[in-house]
Amino acid sequence: MFDRLQSVEDRYEKLNELLMDPDVISDNNKLREYSKESSDLQDTVETYRKYKEVKGQLADAKEMLSDGLDDEMREMVKMELEELEDLIPDLEEKLRLLLLPKDPNDDKNVIVEVRGAAGGDEAALFAGDLYRMYSRYADAQGWKTEVIESNETGIGGFKEVIFMINGKGAYSRMKYENGAHRVQRVPSTESGGRIHTSTATVAVLAEAEEVEVNIHDKDIRVDTFTSSGPGGQSVNTTMSAVRLTHLPTNTVVSCQDEKSQIKNKEKAMKVLRARVYDKFQKEAQAEYDEHRKSAVGTGDRSERIRTYNFPQSRVTDHRIGLTIQKLDQILEGKLDEIIDALIVEEQSSLMENAE
């Protein structure tokens, strides 16, 4: 482990030299690449340096004990020794975690797609609940949310809502929401008081930059049409809505939330780029994705990951067998307890595999 840590520190120092090189400063791509790599390594290097500092202080304290100290000074050194020795296990544990393989997308913004699945109107209402839950969670994290495309029902739900969350580390936490979410409750339209089970699916995509996925204009078909609202009625008479089709992958994205065709096209391109990037990444990193899926089941969008049981005010995450009796709080966006538990489970699994 310490050979790897020394290599990381050496690379960090080399990156700092490169970031002062005039040739790098004048090259935006290299400057961005090296700056990001340096930022990614900073926490590891600072923790490693703190560890080495504590080890050095320990050695000095032990050497002092071997000298002829008076009783009062000897007690002071012993107390310092105990404090320093207590720091070592925590620092070593943090270093092990910092050396675990990192998801290259963790720092990125995300595009979240929520769709009502089985259950008709009740599924659409639940999709709306999930959208509001994620919006409130994003607000609590200091992230910004922007709707890209939505297909509302007449009763306040969504057949589909696609939105972007902008914020550092958004993907690192939101990626665990990928999958099928199940709700058990008495629908507001149900007069008999019977509990219904409905589902909504959530897809979480990392935002892709142009340099990460090369989409040529010749590979995109652009169609324009008038935007529509619930029930399909026309909302305006201008051809502001945009549909993009990526011909090589047959990926289709529509956007009509903006009144401007240009803005709708920009939003649709973000989703298209993210979907194509997601497809290529999964194909290229199948082994990595399978490993991550085996840890906490974040790979399969059809997998039922969580149940929201209203009669018992209970939320259960099936991947780690976690049940929390805080349904109201979770729907208000207080997701940290679940997400933190999923992160710990994944880190534990990765550490076991690394040993």
In angstroms, what CA-CA distances link 346 with 34, 102, 170, 215, 320? 28, 11, 17, 33, 10
> For position 302, what pLDDT does the model report?
56
Higher pLDDT, 139 or 157: 139
pLDDT at 311 over 70: yes
- What confidence category does residue 119 fall into, taking pLDDT thresholds of 50, 70 and 90? confident
Lowest mean pLDDT among 63-67, 194-198, 204-208, 338-342: 63-67
- pLDDT per residue over 26-49, tens digit each? 988 889 888 888 888 888 899 889
> For position 237, what pLDDT does the model report?
54
Mean pLDDT in residue range 289-306: 55
Widest pairwise Cα distance in the chain: 93
* Full set of structural domains in the chain with CATH: 2-98 (1.20.58), 110-211+299-354 (3.30.70.1660), 217-283 (3.30.160.20)
> For position 313, what pLDDT does the model report?
93
- What confidence category does residue 290 fall into, taking pLDDT thresholds of 50, 70 and 90? low
Mean pLDDT in residue range 282-304: 54
Backbone φ/ψ region at 255: left (φ over 0), alpha (ψ -120 to 50), beta: beta
CA distance 254 to 224: 9
> For position 329, what pLDDT does the model report?
95
